[in-house]
């Protein structure tokens, strides 16, 4: 049976896979599992619920709140807020858990349900499986004074903004910034906090109507931001995704500054302040080789994990590291948050620009991005990626030929039935040639599953 929870909660087409019935039942199951520590000491569980502005979030949040309250949980409805804000409020309000309704960077028709444990941490797989096991099962319904109460918490945004401002090492006076909110959850928060920190702010993609989230704006559609930064003569631009757990940037010339470059900038800024624990950065295997080379040159150790911010988080918590993230713009600063926070990330990048009076392009130039090509090979037997000797020999040959000036990463996708071939090399032509050669070998070697005897 397929696992109910994916890599980041339960996500899919709203009112199809993600229904009001699912939201109701899942919240009841979560109340039983995540509320147990409170009930064990005679307390009523407390939960924070937030959502992004997509239209389906309205009925899904209502279903979640109804499910939690009917299961004896006092609910603080925080309304529209970024995912990291819900994680923060869960910890700040000493709630027993939090719930976020969002499909992040997905298009508007999708939605998702994500739970946070006490302290605002993501749930381990085992806890998610425990919730899934109780979904739809009989349960004991509280009555009378034992039912949960619902509180409309509209102070959440102010508390989150205060938290962000407290994390800033210096003000942003003198900077001109364009903020692209993806018509999403950060549309109000991000421009507000940048202005309060001293920046002059222009807004695009900050007029959510429930239907336009991620539609042509945000971190997956940077064209409008690039144009706006150049047209306005801004110092740089910041783009969020729908739930604002990501941040990408655009420099004054309209060039994209990706998550790897942002991590490089922040690593050096934190190292200078003595805030980079063990002078270590945690990144995934998909981070550009240029990041690894730059960090080695600057005396920063890079620990690599599998693809996914949950694996970055796990490694950070294991070693008490303070900075980690992904090329996509998920950046985690553990001194100030328990999950990726796009608004915080953007603020800290801006703080580095303001403190050093150095253009963003110059700060980003600490690393040179090697050309990177990613080829997805479909219709092959992904189970034999690591065991096929001919394929592995071909990979080894290309790795030897590239030497220290490139690398190859071949892996089966964790979310789709395909093999990903990622290659980095000194030139775009060389990178494409190596990737195409290996993709052809993957097709030949893994064309079909071995015959069943």
Q: Are residues 404 and 352 in the same domain?
A: no
pLDDT band at 134 (very low <50, low <70, confident <90, very high): very high
Helix (H) / strand (E) element for 317: namely helix 309-319
| Tally of CA atoms within 13 A in the half-sphere of 374 that contains its CB | 11
- Which of 120, 154, 188 terminates a domain? The answer is 154
**Residue 211 within any structural domain of the chain:** yes
Residue 438 has pLDDT above 90, yes or no: yes
The residue ranges of DSSP E strands in 343-414, in sequence order, are 372-378, 407-412
Q: Are residues 79 and 195 in the same domain?
A: no
Q: Are residues 199 and 341 in the same domain?
A: yes
Residue 239 has pLDDT above 60, yes or no: yes
The dihedrals phi and psi of 81, each to the nearest 5 degrees, come to -150, 155
Q: Are residues 63 and 116 in the same domain?
A: yes
- Which of 108, 133, 154 terminates a domain? The answer is 154
Average pLDDT estimate for 98-115: 96
Helix (H) / strand (E) element for 391: namely helix 389-402
**Residues designated as active site:** 104
Nearest to residue 228, comparing CAs of 278, 298, 180, 191? 180
| Residues contacting residue 140 through CB under 8 Å, at least 6 positions apart | none
pLDDT digits over 15-50, tens only? 999 999 999 999 999 999 999 999 999 999 999 999
pLDDT digits over 200-225, tens only? 999 999 999 999 999 999 999 999 99
DSSP secondary structure string for all residues of 157-209: HHHHHHHHHHH-SS--TT-EEEEE-TTSTTTTHHHHHHHHTT-EEEEES----
Contact 199, 176 (CB under 8 A): yes
**Residue 452 within any structural domain of the chain:** no
CATH number of domain containing 340: 3.40.120.10
Q: Are residues 377 and 360 in the same domain?
A: no
The domain in which residue 415 lies consists of: 372-445
pLDDT band at 451 (very low <50, low <70, confident <90, very high): very low
pLDDT band at 383 (very low <50, low <70, confident <90, very high): confident
Residue 231 has pLDDT above 60, yes or no: yes
Rounded mean pLDDT of the chain? 94
Residue 450 has pLDDT above 70, yes or no: no
**Residue 4 within any structural domain of the chain:** no
**Residue 380 within any structural domain of the chain:** yes
| pTM (two decimals) | 0.90
**Residue 251 within any structural domain of the chain:** yes
CATH number of domain containing 394: 3.30.310.50
Percent of the chain with pLDDT over 90: 84
Percent of the chain with pLDDT over 70: 98
Give the relative orientation of helices 189-196 and 156-167 as an angle to the nearest 10 degrees.
50
**Residue 406 within any structural domain of the chain:** yes
**Residue 440 within any structural domain of the chain:** yes
Q: Are residues 301 and 397 in the same domain?
A: no
Average pLDDT estimate for 319-348: 96
Residue 449 has pLDDT above 60, yes or no: no
Q: What's the number of domains the chain is made of?
A: 3
How far apart are the C-alpha atoms of 278 and 173, rounded to whole Å?
Answer: 31
Q: How many Å separate Cα 202 from the centre of its chain?
A: 24
Q: Are residues 412 and 264 in the same domain?
A: no
Q: The tokens 């401002």 sit on which residue?
A: 165
Average pLDDT estimate for 345-365: 98
Residue 2 is predicted with a pLDDT of 66
The dihedrals phi and psi of 216, each to the nearest 5 degrees, come to 80, 0
Q: Are residues 328 and 195 in the same domain?
A: yes
Contact 425, 431 (CB under 8 A): yes
**Residue 1 within any structural domain of the chain:** no
Q: Are residues 200 and 84 in the same domain?
A: no
Q: Are residues 386 and 322 in the same domain?
A: no
pLDDT digits over 175-201, tens only? 999 999 999 999 999 999 999 999 999
Residue 15 is predicted with a pLDDT of 97
pLDDT band at 453 (very low <50, low <70, confident <90, very high): very low
Q: Are residues 307 and 187 in the same domain?
A: yes
Residue 307 is predicted with a pLDDT of 81
Residue 108 has pLDDT above 90, yes or no: yes
C-alpha to C-alpha distances, 412 to 74, 380, 409, nearest whole angstrom: 43, 10, 10
User: Among 116-120, 216-220, 444-448, which stretch is predicted with the lowest mean pLDDT?
Assistant: 444-448
- Which of 154, 180, 207 terminates a domain? The answer is 154
pLDDT digits over 137-180, tens only? 999 999 999 999 999 988 999 999 999 999 999 999 999 999 99
Q: Are residues 120 and 257 in the same domain?
A: no
Average pLDDT estimate for 435-451: 81
């Amino acid at each position: 049976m397929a696992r109910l929870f994916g890599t980041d909660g339960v996500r899919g087409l709203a009112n199809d896979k993600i229904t009001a019935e699912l939201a109701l039942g899942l919240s009841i199951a979560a109340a039983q599992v995540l509320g147990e520590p409170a009930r064990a000491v005679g307390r009523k569980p407390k939960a924070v619920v937030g959502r992004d502005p997509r239209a389906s979030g309205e009925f899904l949040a209502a279903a979640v709140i109804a499910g939690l309250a009917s299961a004896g949980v006092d609910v603080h409805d925080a309304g529209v807020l970024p995912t990291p804000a819900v994680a923060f409020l869960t910890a700040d309000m000493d709630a027993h858990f939090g719930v976020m309704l969002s499909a992040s960077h997905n298009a508007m028709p999708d939605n998702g349900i994500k739970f946070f444990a006490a302290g605002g941490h993501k749930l381990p797989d085992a806890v998610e499986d425990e919730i899934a096991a109780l979904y739809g099962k009989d349960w004991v319904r509280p009555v009378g004074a034992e039912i949960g109460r619902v509180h409309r918490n509209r102070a959440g945004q102010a508390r989150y903004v205060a938290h962000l401002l407290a994390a800033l090492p210096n003000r942003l006076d003198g900077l001109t910034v364009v903020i692209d909110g993806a018509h999403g959850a950060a549309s109000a928060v991000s421009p507000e906090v940048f202005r309060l920190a001293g920046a002059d702010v222009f807004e695009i993609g900050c007029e959510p109507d429930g239907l336009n989230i991620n539609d042509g704006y945000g971190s997956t559609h940077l064209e409008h931001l690039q144009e706006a930064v150049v047209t306005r003569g801004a110092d740089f631009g910041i783009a969020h995704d729908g739930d604002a757990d990501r941040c990408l940037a655009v420099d004054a010339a309209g060039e994209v500054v990706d998550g790897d470059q942002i991590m490089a900038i922040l690593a050096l800024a934190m190292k200078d302040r003595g805030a980079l624990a063990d002078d270590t950065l945690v990144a995934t295997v998909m981070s550009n080789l240029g990041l690894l080379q730059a960090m080695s040159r600057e005396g920063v150790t890079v620990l690599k994990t599998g693809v996914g911010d949950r694996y970055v988080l796990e490694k950070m918590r294991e070693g008490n590291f303070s900075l980690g993230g992904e090329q996509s713009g998920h950046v985690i600063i553990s001194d100030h948050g328990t999950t990726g926070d796009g608004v915080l990330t953007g603020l800290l990048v801006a703080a580095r620009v303001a403190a050093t009076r150095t253009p963003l392009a110059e700060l980003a130039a600490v690393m040179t991005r090697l050309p990177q090509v990613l080829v997805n090979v479909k219709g092959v037997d992904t189970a034999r990626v690591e065991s096929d000797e001919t394929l592995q020999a071909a990979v080894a040959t290309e790795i030897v030929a590239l030497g220290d000036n490139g690398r190859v990463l071949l892996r089966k996708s964790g979310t789709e039935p395909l093999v990903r071939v990622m290659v980095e090399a000194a030139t775009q032509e060389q990178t494409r040639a190596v990737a195409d050669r290996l993709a052809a070998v993957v097709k030949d070697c893994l064309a079909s599953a071995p015959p069943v005897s």
